[in-house]
Amino acid sequence: MAIINKDKKEMRREILLRRNALSADWVNSQSALIVGFLTNWEPFLQAKNVMLYLAMPGEPKIDELILFALENGKQVSVPLLTEKFGYMESAAITGLQDLKTGKLNLRVPDPEKITIVDPGSLDLILVPAVAFDLNGNRLGMGAGYYDRFLTQASKACTLGVAWSFQIVPFVAAEEHDVPVQYVITEEKITICSKGKM
């Protein structure tokens, strides 16, 4: 176990260094490609209740996808971290005005403007990560928020979102890890071998 954790720690460090060095212009232009793929992707178009995410620095930006989903009548929610470390909920928003600036200057849903959504009602979840492999295994930030949440969202289609350099040959999976069914980058959408629908 110590070796697995050491490998994950080193992989996380190397990929985050590369992600943090991306220029704003590159992130904006490549994020637009990802949003373009998704606004034409049948599983996304058919989904009525979607959980998206609020991009951290260096992650693919999907605000335009949030707006597209809302304009097309979807219920949109985003992660809301709970008081208990490692746990999060799905918070429905009606627009970007339902967000506020939280810790570390990151955007978070405003608890006074949102409604908590049952994870079991979600049709599709976009899952950010530090790295994915093509089995759908993901390397997150290490706190297990998404792994715990995804076990409650059994009917949702899950799509990992990352840059192409974040797709690696192998991510060591542990018993509690939940693989995603698809991965999208600025280049393409891939069906994961473990997570086939």
For the entire predicted model, the pTM comes to 0.93
Are residues 4 and 177 in contact, defined by beta-carbon separation less than 8 angstroms?
no
Provide the pLDDT for residue 104.
Answer: 75
Provide the pLDDT for residue 4.
Answer: 54
pLDDT < 50 positions in the chain: 1-3, 196-197
Pairing of strands 124-128, 49-51: parallel
Residue 77 token pair: 């929610």
Distance (Å, whole) CA 26 – CA 42: 27
Provide the pLDDT for residue 197.
Answer: 42
Pairing of strands 157-161, 124-128: parallel
Provide the pLDDT for residue 1.
Answer: 40
Residue 189 token pair: 């959408």
Where do we find the tokens 């176990």?
1
Provide the pLDDT for residue 145.
Answer: 93
Q: What angle do CA 75, 183, 59 make, to 5 degrees?
A: 75
